[in-house]
Amino acid sequence: MYKLKRLRVSKAMRDLTAQVNLGIHNLVMPYFVREGKKIRQPIEAMPGVFRFSRDELLKEVEQLRLAGVHSLILFGLPGEKDDAGLKAYSENGVIQKAVRALKKNFGDELAIITDVCLCGYTKHGHCGILKRQKAKGKRQKEFSIDNDETLKVLVKIALSHARAGADIVAPSSMMDGQVQAIRQELDKNGFSETAIMGYSAKFASNFYGPFREAAGSGMKFGDRKSYQMDFRNSDEALREIEADIQEGADILMVKPALAYLDIIAKAKERFAVPLAAFNVSGEYSMVKTYCKSTVHSPQSTGIEKELALEILTAIKRAGADIIITYYAKEAAGWLKKT
> Which of these is catalytic: 81, 87, 156, 202?
202
Q: What are the distances in angstroms from CA 214 to CA 35, 45, 74, 312?
A: 14, 8, 12, 22
Closest to 194 (Cα-Cα) out of 152, 162, 172, 155 = 162
| Cα distances (angstroms) measured from residue 195 to each of 165, 169, 188, 250 | 11, 6, 14, 6
Contacts by residues 258-262 (CB-CB < 8 Å, ≥ 24 positions apart) = 258/207, 258/283, 258/311, 258/314, 258/315, 259/205, 259/207, 259/231, 260/201, 260/203, 260/231, 261/314, 261/315, 261/318, 262/234, 262/318
With H, G, I as helix, E, B as strand and everything else as coil, classify residue 200.
strand
Q: Which residues of 115-145 are buried (b: 16+ CB within 10 A; e: fewer)?
A: bbbbbbbbebbbbbbbeeeeeeeeeeeeeeb
To the query of whether residue 255 is one of the catalytic residues in this protein, the response is: yes
156, 255, 288, 316: the active-site residue: 255
Cβ atoms of 61 and 126 within 8 Å: the answer is: no
Q: Which residues, at least 6 apart from 226, have a Cβ–Cβ distance to it below 8 Å?
A: 144, 145
Is 156 assigned a catalytic role?
Answer: no
Active site residues: 202, 255
